[in-house]
Every structure is written in structure tokens, then in C-alpha cells.
């Protein structure tokens, strides 16, 4: 997606450890017009996939996920990272290890909002090692829910998540594919 690539080129910065900082439009300040266009793009890509629900993980997946839900006219669920007092029992949970933060989070989705007839589209801001997607896939499997595929804003194709999950048969559509962050510069695939 050209508009997204341009935003990354203009506002993205590269931090040590191959981290692309996009706080200007995605991870802190949010660009609603860009989010809207990305939601429409995911909706177009998955228009014939029979999607009934969008799943994402809080917090940075929520903005693109909501815009996708709006464009597809389906509800959006964000998996929560901490068990709250109001969400205690009746949860599907999975462990997600973050390589960038070196922490493990439990992510959970309430059974109340999951139906066996769901066909879910998984949306996230980044795909790096694939831990977040794997966590959502675990939950989908435990719930007996079908997965239509994944929609990723920025895939870092030099990390192994995308390749491994595609090998397992998951459809993944990424709006920007970053093949390198070497020398402080984002290089794109396609």
C-alpha cells in the first residue's frame, strides 16, 4: 500500500534492535485517515472470505482492527493482555512472548463473544516473530473457530513469523513488507 509506505518513509525511524518506530501515525499518535484506508484495504482483500468477526490484540492493533470491522460491518474483539476483575472466568487464554520487550503476556478473549460459527480475521500492527498471531490462532483452535486469515499493517519479512505461519497454511496479507532496517533505513518488498 503506497500511502502506508510513504508514511513510513516520512515519519518512521529505526531504533536499535531492528525496531521500526512509527509512533507518529500508528503506535502513539494515530492517523485516522490512514487507518480508514487500511481498513478498507483489508476489507477488499478479504471480501469473499466469509469473515464474521475481527480479532486483534490490545493496544496497537485496535485502531486498524476497528477500521476493518467498520468497512466489513462486523464486530471487533481485542484480546486483553491482563486479566481484569470484570473478565475472570470463562476466558480463552494463550501465552504470547514478546521478543522486543522480553516479557510473556497472557492474552485472553471472553467466551461470551466467541461463537463456533465465527470466521475470524486476525488484524495486527506488526508481524515480526509471529507470537501475537500464534496466540490468537491458539485461542481460535481452542474455541473451534475458523480463521479466514490475517491482515498485518507492517510485516518485517526479515524476521521469521510470516514465513513460518504461511508454511502452516495461514493466509497473511501485509500492507507494507519491510525487508530490511539496516543502516537506519526501511527497505520495502514489492
Residues tagged in the binding site annotation for xanthine: 20, 27, 156
Q: Between residue 48 and residue 67, which ones bind ligand G4P under the rule CB under 6 A?
A: 57, 59-61
- Of 98, 106, 138, 179, the residue at the interface with ligand G4P (CB under 6 A) is 98
Per-residue contact flags (x/-) with Na ion for residues 134 to 173, judged by CB under 5 A: ----------------------------------------
Termini Cα distance of the chain: 10
Nearer Cβ to Na ion, position 60 or 157?
60
Pairwise CA distance, residues 67 & 121, whole Å = 13
Alpha helices in 57-114, H assignment, sequence order: 62-72
- Is 167 a binder of ligand G4P (CB under 6 A)? no
Strands 13-15 and 19-21, by their bridges, are: antiparallel
- Distance (Å, whole) CA 170 – CA 60: 22
**By the rule CB under 6 A, 113 interacts with ligand G4P:** no
**Which among ligand G4P, Na ion, none contacts residue 161 (Cβ within 5 to 8 A by kind)?**
ligand G4P
Other Cβ atoms within 10 Å of 90 Cβ, number? 10
What values do phi and psi take at 157, rounded to 5? -75, -10
With respect to Na ion, which residue has the nearer C-beta, 95 or 115? 95
Q: Verify binding: residue 128, ligand G4P, rule CB under 6 A.
A: yes
Quick note: the x/- pattern for Na ion over 49-78, rule CB under 5 A, is -----------x------------------
Per CB under 6 A, does 20 bind ligand G4P?
Answer: yes
Distance, in Å, from the CA atom of 170 to the CA atom of 175, rounded to the nearest integer, reads: 16
| Residue 19 to residue 80: CA distance in whole angstroms | 23
Q: Which of 12, 34, 32, 33 is nearest to 23 (CA)?
A: 12
Q: Which residues make up the interface to ligand G4P (CB under 6 A)?
A: 19-22, 27, 57, 59-61, 98-101, 125-132, 156, 161
Amino acid at each position: 500500500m503506497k500511502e502506508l509506505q510513504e508514511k513510513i518513509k516520512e515519519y518512521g525511524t529505526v531504533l536499535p534492535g531492528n525496531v521500526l518506530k512509527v509512533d507518529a501515525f500508528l503506535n502513539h499518535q494515530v492517523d485516522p485517515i490512514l487507518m480508514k484506508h487500511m481498513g478498507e484495504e483489508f476489507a477488499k482483500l478479504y471480501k469473499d472470505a466469509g469473515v464474521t468477526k475481527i480479532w486483534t490484540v490490545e493496544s496497537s492493533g485496535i485502531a486498524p482492527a476497528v477500521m476493518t470491522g467498520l468497512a466489513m460491518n462486523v464486530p471487533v474483539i481485542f484480546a486483553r493482555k491482563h486479566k481484569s476483575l470484570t473478565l475472570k472466568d470463562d476466558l480463552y487464554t494463550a501465552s504470547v512472548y514478546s521478543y522486543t520487550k522480553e516479557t510473556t503476556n497472557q492474552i485472553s478473549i471472553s467466551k461470551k463473544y466467541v461463537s463456533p460459527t465465527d470466521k475470524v480475521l486476525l488484524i495486527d500492527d506488526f508481524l515480526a516473530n509471529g507470537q501475537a498471531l500464534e496466540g490468537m490462532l491458539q485461542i481460535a483452535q481452542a474455541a473451534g473457530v475458523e480463521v479466514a486469515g490475517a491482515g498485518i499493517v507492517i510485516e518485517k519479512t526479515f524476521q521469521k513469523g510470516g514465513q513460518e505461519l504461511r508454511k502452516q497454511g495461514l493466509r497473511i496479507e501485509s500492507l507494507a513488507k519491510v525487508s530490511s532496517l539496516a543502516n537506519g533505513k526501511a527497505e520495502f518488498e514489492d
